[in-house]
Amino acid sequence: MYCNHCGGGLQGDSRFCAACGKPVAGAPPAPVARRAVQHLRLLAIFWIVFSALRLLGGSARIASARWIGRIGDDWLNGWMAGWPIREILPPMLAFSGAWTILAALAGFAAGAGLLERQSWARVLAIVLAFMALFSPPVGTALGIYTLWVLLGSKGDEEFRVSRAA
């Protein structure tokens, strides 16, 4: 027999689940795969750490854009005067840094939401996972892990069960 709320195993004719403490009602449902329940906390922590790294990277890009903008003319010292490094590179770096910081903030939200088992966090984490696939090697690994945990054959059901627990 299995708990209606968390999917944990029950002992004989128990009236309360030993894992979550909730009362057992009626016939137990079929056992639910526990992949999401087992990996959700770790996944949330990974998203928070990955987002912290992204925040540092985005901040460094913005700082680099300002640095290159200030010393671009002195650095080139008249050499390659036809190549406008000061006009092209800083805006590109600033845009890339701002985009990275926005992605980091979304990752922080996804990690915090996954820790709290919020339904919107599952959707946000899946979207961010697809975007992270293009950030090798760490982002790709995190994206694959996120998709494996949240998009399994019964990923939505597992997530709902873990929210009820």
pLDDT tens column, 106-140: 999 999 999 998 989 999 999 999 999 999 999 99
Confidence at residue 27, expressed as pLDDT on a 0 to 100 scale: 45
End-to-end CA distance of the chain: give it in Å, rounded: 16
CB 86 within 8 A of CB 72: yes
Give the Cα separation of 6 and 117 in Å (integer).
13
Residues 22 and 41 in one domain: no
Residue-wise pLDDT tens digits, 25-82: 664 454 545 666 778 899 999 999 999 999 999 999 999 988 877 776 666 665 655 5
Tell me if residue 92 falls in helix, strand or coil: helix
Burial (Cβ within 10 Å: 0-12, 13-18, ≥19) of residue 23:
exposed
Supply the range of the domain harboring residue 11: 1-31
Residues 59 and 127 in one domain: yes
Tell me if residue 73 falls in helix, strand or coil: helix
* Higher local confidence (pLDDT), 132 or 86: 132
Confidence at residue 152, expressed as pLDDT on a 0 to 100 scale: 72
Confidence at residue 154, expressed as pLDDT on a 0 to 100 scale: 66
160 assigned to some structural domain: no
Q: Which of 59, 158, 146, 135 is nearest to 111 (CA)?
A: 146
Residues 12 and 59 in one domain: no
Residues 56 and 105 in one domain: yes
The pTM is what?
0.71
115 assigned to some structural domain: yes
- CB environment 66-94: b (16+ within 10 A), e (fewer): eebbeebeeeeeeeeeeeeebeebbeebb
Cα-based angle 60, 46, 116 (whole degrees, multiple of 5): 115
Residues 69 and 16 in one domain: no
